[in-house]
């Protein structure tokens, strides 16, 4: 059930695997239940991608301390410097065990979709990418918006690894996975994708 035989035309987007979203020790109000649980699977998925020579793009949020670059509904969370994923703060760091390596690419976004108001599409097209594999958090927001944009931008195959993505609850996660399947997105487990 491999996504494609030509891995040089594939990218793995790793979305928002940052301490404020997945590490309970941070005490962040944006902690995602289930986010910590998929960290190991995301780490494994990245290792498989690197073994295959897949281009790995780390998509992260890094916000202004005053919240000037966040969605309007989030701005009140940033009063007093308490917002999530503030650039330079510990909460914006990747979760333990996740490391950007030489050859990988880091992309900063300030909205749900990795494609919105970023140069991601240009970077991927320059690298000859036709297929997108998505892992990370969280399914109804950043995963879903990125996937819908990848489909709208005519990437040939879009894949979401269902056990390397998470939402606030399993029901929310599976409902969104079902919605993505209806638009042609492939939704294997890591084990199915690996073989």
Domain limits, the chain: 7-61+96-194
pLDDT band at 24 (very low <50, low <70, confident <90, very high): very high
The answer to whether residue 40 scores a pLDDT higher than 60 is yes
The answer to whether residue 82 scores a pLDDT higher than 90 is no
The answer to whether residue 3 scores a pLDDT higher than 50 is no
pLDDT band at 5 (very low <50, low <70, confident <90, very high): low
Q: Of 13, 173, 160, 40, whose CA–CA distance to 95 is shortest?
A: 40
The answer to whether residue 189 scores a pLDDT higher than 90 is yes
Give the residue-averaged pLDDT of 129-137. Answer: 98
The answer to whether residue 6 scores a pLDDT higher than 90 is no
Q: Which CATH superfamily is domain 7-61+96-194 in?
A: Isochorismatase-like (3.40.50.850)
């Amino acid at each position: 059930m491999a996504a494609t035989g030509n891995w040089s035309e594939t990218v793995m987007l790793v979305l928002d695997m940052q301490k404020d979203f997945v590490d309970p020790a941070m005490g962040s109000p944006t902690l995602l239940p289930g986010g910590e649980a998929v960290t190991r699977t995301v780490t494994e998925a990245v290792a498989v991608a690197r073994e295959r020579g897949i281009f790995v793009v780390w998509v992260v949020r890094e916000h202004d301390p005053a919240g000037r670059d966040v969605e309007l509904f989030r701005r009140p969370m940033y009063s007093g410097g308490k917002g999530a994923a503030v650039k330079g703060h510990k909460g914006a760091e990747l979760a333990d065990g996740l490391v950007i390596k030489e050859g990988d690419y880091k992309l900063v976004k300030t909205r749900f979709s990795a494609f919105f108001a970023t140069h991601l599409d240009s970077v991927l097209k320059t690298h000859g990418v036709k297929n997108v594999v998505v892992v990370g958090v969280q399914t109804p927001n950043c995963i879903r918006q990125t996937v819908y944009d990848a489909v709208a931008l005519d990437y040939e195959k879009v894949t979401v690894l269902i056990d390397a993505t998470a939402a606030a609850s399993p029901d929310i996660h599976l409902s969104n996975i079902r919605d993505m399947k209806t638009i042609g997105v492939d939704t294997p487990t890591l084990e199915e994708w690996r073989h």
